[in-house]
Amino acid sequence: MRTEGEIATNTDPAGPWSLVVPLKPLARAKSRLGRAAGELARPRLALAFAQDTVAAALSCARVRDVVVVTDDAVAGAALSALGARIVADAPAAGLNAALSYGARSVRALASGAPVAALNADLPALRPTELARVLDFASAFPRAFLRDAAGIGTTFLSCAGGTELRPAFGGRSAARHLASGAVEIPLPGTDSVRRDVDTGEDLTVALALGVGPHTERLALTLALAPDR
Please state, in angstroms and rounded to a whole number, the distance separating the CA atoms of residues 112 and 117. Answer: 16
Helices (H), 110-166: 127-137
Q: What share of the chain is helix, strand, coil (3-state, %, to 5)?
A: 40, 15, 40
Hey, what amino acid is at 190? D
Please state, in angstroms and rounded to a whole number, the distance separating the CA atoms of residues 104 and 215. Answer: 34
pLDDT-derived band at 226, boundaries 50, 70, 90 = low
Q: What is the pLDDT of residues 23-50, one digit of tens each?
A: 999 999 998 887 878 888 999 999 999 9
Phi, psi (rounded to 5 degrees) for 34: -55, -40
Say which residues have a Cβ less than 8 Å from residue 40's Cβ, sequence separation at least 6.
none
- DSSP codes, 91-144: S-S-HHHHHHHHHHHHHHH-TT--EEEE-S--TT--HHHHHHHHHHHTTSSEEE
Pick left, alpha or beta for residue 132 (phi over 0 → left; psi -120 to 50 → alpha; otherwise beta).
alpha
Question: Using N-to-C axis directions, what is the helix angle for 212-220 and 199-208, rounded to 10°?
Answer: 120
Say what the pLDDT of residue 11 is.
42
Nearest 10 degrees: CA dihedral of 135, 136, 142, 144? Answer: -110
Say which residues have a Cβ less than 8 Å from residue 199's Cβ, sequence separation at least 6.
33, 35, 36, 37, 223
Q: What is the pLDDT of residues 49-94, one digit of tens each?
A: 999 999 999 999 999 999 999 999 999 999 999 999 999 999 999 9
Global model pTM greater than 0.75: yes
Q: Are 108 and 145 in contact (CB under 8 A)?
A: no
What is the C-alpha radius of gyration for the chain, rounded to an integer number of angstroms?
16
